[in-house]
Amino acid sequence: MTNIAQLMKQAQQMQKKMKSVQDKLEEMTVEGKSGGDMVTVIMSCKGQLKSLSIDPSLVDKEEIEMLEDLIVAAVNDAKIKADNTTESEMAAVTGGMGLPGGMKLPF
């Protein structure tokens, strides 16, 4: 019975740590860039786009399709960085548990 009580206590501690990491990730941001830094986006690690910066030289009616592609590329770059940051932050919480790779928490 002591083993079960100890497991429950560890689960509660992990739950508190996970909540703390989730709150931290809400505040953390990553920067995505494309087009040789001509398009920059700032995104939260939870995937919320915070800001978009476009080099004025890209604003040309004839180049709108390229600009759209660069924005998509910058957002995707930031999303990858946000996912990587989230994964490493969560790994710090779940490190010793031996969870299968790719398992997303919280459930």
Q: Which CATH number is 56's domain given? A: 3.30.1310.10
Residue 37 in this model has a pLDDT that exceeds 50: yes
According to the model, what pLDDT value does residue 97 have?
61
Q: How far from 25 is each of 9, 47, 92, CA to CA, in Å? A: 24, 10, 13
46-90 pLDDT, tens digit each: 888 888 888 888 888 887 888 888 888 988 998 899 889 888 888
* C-beta separation of 90 from 21 below 8 A: yes
Domain span at residue 87? 20-94
The verdict on residue 37 lying in a domain is: yes
Phi first, then psi: give them for residue 34, nearest 5 degrees: -155, 170
The verdict on residue 31 lying in a domain is: yes
Which one is predicted more confidently, 67 or 100?
67
According to the model, what pLDDT value does residue 107 have?
44
The verdict on residue 12 lying in a domain is: no
